[in-house]
Amino acid sequence: MASKVIQALYNDDDVLMHAVKKVRAEHHHIEEVYTPFPVHGLDKAMGLADTRIAITSFLYGCLGLTVAVVMMNYIMIEDWPQDIGGKPSFSYLENMPAFVPIMFELTVFFAAHLMVITFYLRSRMWPFKKAENPDKRTTDDHFLMEIGLHDNENELADLLWETGAVEVKVTEKES
């Protein structure tokens, strides 16, 4: 289903921030903003909710810690116990101080790798996916704000020109 959107192009991130705040103050819904680099505070200005990726990172770290504990208990205590450096090998708790570095490393490994995979899947960015940016200039030096239209094209275009847009156009967007 295609819907009409209006796209405003800006050439300065400060002008873009001012425009986003003004458009939000006029109670228009900003669909997306495309920028060539991260703009500090843009997510707050757009009214986006905080990300929950930190929660998933914690859960992935817990998973890594669990895998490390189970793996070391099986390998070093049950399957093939070895006397390394005079340490007793018949109890996990007696050997735990030696296992702390492995537990830490696997916690960080699982959290980092699974968090990156989650981010890419959540952002729908996978290998060989065609780029979705509507204007190639947004990868170089321009900023694009995309707003959904609801029979208010002229009013919205005037507002965007007031905010300092260098180009305003109406296009069809596939959803």
For 3, phi then psi, to 5°, come to -135, 155
On whether the pTM is more than 0.85, the answer is: no
pLDDT band (50, 70, 90) for residue 95: confident
Per-residue pLDDT, 175 = 59
Where would I find the H helices in 26-91? 42-46, 53-72
Question: What average pLDDT does the chain have?
Answer: 89
Tell me the mean pLDDT in the region 113-142: 88
pLDDT band (50, 70, 90) for residue 1: very low
Residue among 16, 21, 18, 10 nearest 46 (CA): 21
Q: Which one has a higher pLDDT value, 131 or 138? A: 138
Q: What percent of the chain has pLDDT over 90?
A: 53
Per-residue pLDDT, 159 = 92
Using CA atoms in the order 109, 111, 113, 117, what is the torsion angle rounded to 10 degrees?
A: 170
Does the pLDDT value for residue 107 go beyond 90?
A: yes
Per-residue pLDDT, 19 = 94
- Express each pLDDT in 144-162 by its tens digit: 999 988 888 888 999 999 9
Tell me the mean pLDDT in the region 111-127: 91
- Express each pLDDT in 4-26 by its tens digit: 899 999 999 999 999 999 999 99
CA-angle at 82, arms to 80 and 87, nearest 5° = 140
